[in-house]
Amino acid sequence: MIKPCRLEFNNGRSWTVLGKFDAEDQTKTTWVLDAAEVLVKTLHNCGDPKDCPTLRVSIDATCVLLLWEIERGWYDAATGEPA
């Protein structure tokens, strides 16, 4: 992989790695982010937003690139700007 990243899930306890992908491949990155968002929204089933799991994309446990929240969608972890 050229730009290895991790897709991580947090249900209020701790971050869990769901899988790894190459962020250099824009098409696959889009598929991963879109699929993760759809999965969490589907599993959450329109419940209270404060109880919804969150997602993140990181290089490792200390270098987070993107965050996802049900009310915000994907955003840059450093700037807070929409991704």
> What's the pLDDT at 66?
98
pLDDT one-digit tens code per residue, 37-48: 999 999 888 788
Which residues on neighbouring strands pair with residue 17, listed in sequence order? 8
Secondary structure letter of residue 81 according to DSSP: -
- The predicted pLDDT at position 61 comes to 86
Q: What residues form DSSP beta bridges with 23?
A: none
pLDDT < 70: residue spans in the chain: none
| Exposed/middle/buried for residue 18 (C-beta within 10 Å: 0-12, 13-18, 19+) | middle
Instruction: Name which of 39, 67, 40 is nearest 53 in CA terms.
Output: 40
For residue 80, the model assigns a pLDDT of 98
